[in-house]
Structure 1
Amino acid sequence: MNGKILIVDDEKDIITFIKNSLEDEGYIVYSAYNSGEALNLLNKKPDLIVLDVMMPGMNGFELCEHIRTSISCPIIFVSAKNTEQDRIQGLMVGGDDYIEKPFSLKELKTRIFVHLRREKRARSERKQCIYQKNLIIDTLAHEVYCQHEKIRFTYREFEILKYFVLHREQVLSKDQIYDYVWGLEAVGDTSTVTEHIKNIRAKLLEKDPQTTYIETIWGVGYKWGS
């Protein structure tokens, strides 16, 4: 499945033309002939919206502003309004692209493909980041930000912090943390875990003194703060 597309246009021939072509490409396509139908179809969670501007009642620009209160997917305007001001207005109200009528179906499909590819890439990049409390933890770059300020952690400190947030519902013993970060074959003892957690807490406290990130569970180990 290539994605879910919502087409909004009061001209049924145009919707049929676009819909048939996109379905041939493997897309799931929803049709709306006015703003009311379009708003009702938002619960389908479309991956992209093709939106006409000149419609009776609420026009495409107004509808786009309503959509943007709940949906962040790409919106491509398709309109006979072709002035520079029209294109600017379309982008300013939340549109991502603007194609003038009459348009090339090949161009429209290409732009749909490009926007969906960009969204997929963005979602993939967001997955590498873990958002916890006031922290952004970038697992690929090995970077941690607290309220947009970077906190510098050593490799071991970062791995411990990541282990906590990936298992935030669990109480973790020193042995578990040591085995995860240093490896089962490491030669050493778990006292180093205590020192590393002390350092992590100090760095977090300096940037965010109001938030408890790592709790001590006496006699058992540690837990990500609730």
Structure 2
Amino acid sequence: MAKILAVDDDKRILKLIKNALELNHHEVITLQDPENIPIEEFCGYDLILLDVMMPEIDGFELCQKIRSTVDSPIIFLTAKTDESSIVKGLAFGGDDYISKPFGVMELNARVEAYLRRENRGKSTKKLVYGDITIDFDKKEILVNNNVIAFTKNEYNICEFLALNRGKVFTKQAIFEAIYDLDSDTQFSVITEYIRLIRNKFKEYNCFPIETVWGVGYMWK
């Protein structure tokens, strides 16, 4: 059983989500107006479902506001599936999208997939490449003992490439390694993730990801 927060201004959608996820014995907390809720109230959940188009504060803004404090996966619920919106949401720390309208079976399948991924057995080993340390237990990447604030998917991309050091992967191959095959997200967002990752490493004069032109990316 997982503890899940659903945020949407439409109480009918919240009722649908609550009824659907409770069929799998999850505890579902619903929130219709998140604007003035303290950040700490968003902590302690195993997963957050977050509507994008809300009247007082949209889901992108809310995700950006809480992401530095909240470690759980955040899945957007949205009818806005154009590439620019997807890139914006993921850059703010979202993990995936579910397109509206969605069905009960799709919702449950996507939620269960993320919960399984979060509950996989953790490794206790570390990888050290020069100044970079990847701690698989804590899901952290450090440069000269400084923790870099990666989002969950940014970390997952780094971990995947680092574990396959020296191998070149296309954007689609990287996408398939970190997303479910039925994800609504488009694999072209990998380019934006790589840009964000590089910018964070660049602050430490560190450049571990190399572009192999016409093919993809590799961890040097």
So what's the TM-score if we normalise by structure 1?
0.53
SS class of match (1:29)? strand
Pairing 1:71–2:73 present = no
Give the distance between the partners of 2:85 and 2:72, measured in 1 at CA.
21
Letter aligned with residue 61 of structure 1: F
Instruction: Quickly say closer, same or farther: Cα 1:87–1:40, change in 2 above 3 A.
Output: same
Residue identity over aligned pairs, in percent, reads 43
The residue aligned with 1:59 is 58
Distance apart, 1:109 and its partner CA: 1.1
| 1:42 and 2:59 aligned | no
CA contact (8 A) 1:32 1:38 kept: no
* 1:8/1:38 contact within 8 Å kept: no
Q: Is the 8 A contact 2:39 2:69 kept in 1?
A: no
Displacement of 1:83: 1.4
Q: 1:137 to 1:3 in 2, by over 3 A?
A: closer
Q: How does 1:28-177 map to 2 (within 5 A)?
A: 28-35=27-34, 36-37=36-37, 39=39, 41-43=41-43, 45-121=44-120, 124-126=121-123, 128-129=124-125
Q: Give the aligned partner of residue 184 of structure 2.
A: none
Assess if the C-alpha contact under 8 Å between 1:30 and 1:41 holds in 2. Answer: no
Task: Report Cα offsets for 1:103-126 as digits up to 9, x if no partner.
Answer: 1221121111111111111xx325
Distance in 2, Cα, partners of 1:7 & 1:23 = 12
Of the two structures, which has the highest relative contact order with CA contacts closer than 8 Å and spacing of 6 or more?
2
RMSD: 2.9
- Taking structure 1 as reference, are residues 138 and 6 closer, same or farther at Cα in structure 2, changes over 3 Å only? closer
Task: Name the count of aligned residue pairs.
Answer: 135
Deviation at residue 85 of structure 1 after TM alignment? 1.2
Instruction: Flag the 1:19–1:40 CA change in 2: closer, same or farther, 3 A.
Output: farther
- Cα offset, 1:37, TM superposition: 4.0
Q: When the two structures are superposed, what TM-score results if normalisation uses the length of structure 2? A: 0.54
How far 1:146 sits from its partner (Å)?
A: 10
Cα deviation for residue 39 of structure 1 reads 3.9
The one-letter code of the counterpart of 2:2 is G
Partner SS, residue 18 of structure 1: helix
Larger proportion of helix: 1
| Contact 1:54 1:79 (C-alpha < 8 Å) held by counterparts | yes
Alpha carbons of 1:117 and 1:138: their partners in 2 closer, same or farther (altered >3 Å)? closer
Displacement after TM superposition at 1:20 (Å): 1.1
- Partner Cα separation in structure 2 for residue 23 and residue 38 of structure 1: 26
Contact kept, 8 Å, 2:122 with 2:136, in 1: the verdict is: no
Q: What corresponds to 1:26 in structure 2?
A: 25
